[in-house]
Amino acid sequence: MKKKIIKTADGSSSIYLPDWDESYHSKHGAIQEAYHVFIKHGLDLFKANEKVNILEIGFGTGLNCFITFLEALKRNLKIKYDGIEAYPLKAEEILALNYVEKLKATNYSKIFAMLHAVEWEEIQEIYANFKLLKRKILFKDIKDQNKFDLIYFDAFGARVQPELWTEDIFRIMYKSLKDKGILVTYSAKGSVRRVMQQVGFLVEKLPGPPGKREMLRGSKIKN
């Protein structure tokens, strides 16, 4: 599928898919969206020095993983990060991304490169207290149970891939979380909220990132 590097409103880059009229991040700001959805309403729920097991649905450009790494350093979090991606980006596409520059993280440029360069299906120690496992599988084939504290659900939108936003997929997400685990997503569609509730999530509507009125957060709270 054809891909085009674009610049979003906050100056950070993303990848646009002309055939789908869909991009990997919000056109209103890739970095702003990542911080608002996944850090502010996800990682920020955990205290300094905690161990956090994270599952990312849609590893893509590695932006969410890299930002999580930077934030984990500040908070001394111990992170085990599983990134699911069935269709990894090519090396030249990754090189065209400007996240290291825009995040003022040139000291960690080698870390960003490592996120993409390390082998798939093997746990890699990227840095002290940050381990990464990249998994090249379809979302429907995830079999983990009671494993993760936090899920970043960052799949392509339901308009272009409705099969990724079904009750079956969110049941897999629910099972993979520990009790009291959290799932955050940029989506605020009523259909997504309803399937999350149907599989057991306690769902909150939260203020969305720039360009979106709302987003969703689901908690695995057993009665």
Residue pair 139/156 in contact (Cβ under 8 Å)? The answer is no
Cα–Cα distance, 173 to 73 (Å, whole number)? 27
- Predicted confidence at residue 1, as pLDDT, reads 82
Domain boundaries, the chain: 29-219
43 has pLDDT over 90 = yes
> Residue 76: pLDDT band by 50, 70, 90 thresholds?
very high
The amino acid sitting at 13 is S
205 has pLDDT over 70 = yes
User: Rounded to two decimals, what is the model's pTM?
Assistant: 0.97
Cα–Cα distance, 15 to 23 (Å, whole number)? 6
pLDDT 10s digits, 111-142: 999 999 999 999 999 999 999 999 999 999 99
Neighbours of 75 (CB within 10 A): 16
Share of the chain above pLDDT 70, in %: 100
Cα–Cα distance, 22 to 206 (Å, whole number)? 23
The amino acid sitting at 48 is A
Which of these CATH numbers, 3.10.20.30, 3.40.50.11290, 3.40.50.150, 3.40.190.10, describes 29-219? 3.40.50.150
Cα–Cα distance, 96 to 200 (Å, whole number)? 40
Cα–Cα distance, 152 to 220 (Å, whole number)? 14
* Three-class DSSP labels, 3-41: CEEEECCCCCEEEEECCCCEECCCCCCHHHHHHHHHHHC
- Predicted confidence at residue 222, as pLDDT, reads 73
pLDDT 10s digits, 138-180: 999 999 999 999 999 999 999 999 999 999 999 999 999 999 9
Q: Give mean pLDDT, residues 44-67.
A: 96
